Amino acid sequence: MLKIINGKEIAQKIYSELREEVKILEKEGRAPGLAVVLVGSDPASQTYVRSKERIAGELGFFSKVFREKEDISQQELQDLIKRLNQDREIDGILVQLPLPEHIDEKTIIEAIDPYKDVDGFHPLNTGRLFSGQRDSFRFEACTPLGIMELLEREGIEIEGKKAVVVGRSNIVGKPLAHLLLERNATVTICHSRTRDLAKETREADILIAAVGKAALITGDMVKDGVVAIDVGINRVDGKLTGDLDFDSVKEKAACITPVPGGVGPMTIAMLMKNTIKARKYHGV
């Protein structure tokens, strides 16, 4: 029987758990502190930042949003991050991507204190993940972490399963593959140069689509009983849709995430979870 995984519902359960953690941390001295840096006026970025700001407030975080002009210089942005790195009230720093073209994104990410890098993009954090350093303190990228949380909370077995990740971005595809490997899945990463994508996806017990191409994966490209996770966010005829052709894939899937309401809410939930993790690391 098909199970449509409700990411929004799972995220709300996580927030209930996190509120209790925040109360404990407040009694110990202070609430977690999150700084979000937004450069420019990109509508999608503004929407994401408002959501993060609202949820941080609901959880009882100390939250600051820095809305900077589009023409901020590279040096000015680096100086802001340096100040936030040194601010003892701030445990987590998030720079909303994408940045304007004149800003070197890589340099900005590397400027963030890796122990405040709640997005999980700093080379120290990705390096510790890619080298399998489970025992070292690290942050994992929020979307892959959210997917792993979804699978775990839905009781989906990962060990020994064939997981196919379609997409090789540094934000989703690559870190997700490593998280799956740590859970003893057999992992295949597919991308735009994969010669026979359908052949690979039909072998998947767990299929994650993270490309950003609407309806890329259709029902004839998956096997019966697949767990289908859709990370894609595409706008078609004014409506949000994912990388899975939902109607055809759901006919074969055991579990499937919708767009919207699947992986998206989990990404913000994991950002909040990472911020609490950072607060515990930094102490009072």
Tokens of 40: 């420019």
Catalytic, 46? Answer no
Radius of gyration of the chain (CA): 19
Catalytic, 161? Answer no
Which residue out of 96, 116, 117, 161 is catalytically annotated? 96
Q: How far is CA 249 from the centre of its chain?
A: 23
Of the candidates 69, 56, 126, 140, the one whose C-alpha atom is nearest the C-alpha of residue 102 is 69
Which residue out of 52, 116, 161, 174 is catalytically annotated? 52
Q: What are the beta bridge partners of residue 162?
A: 186
Which residue out of 91, 113, 117, 119 is catalytically annotated? 119
Catalytic, 96? Answer yes
**Distance between CA atoms of residues 181 and 144, nearest Å:** 12
Tokens of 107: 């340099």
C-alpha distances in angstroms, 270 versus 40, 62, 113, 213, 217? 25, 17, 19, 24, 26
Q: Residues with catalytic annotation?
A: 52, 96, 119
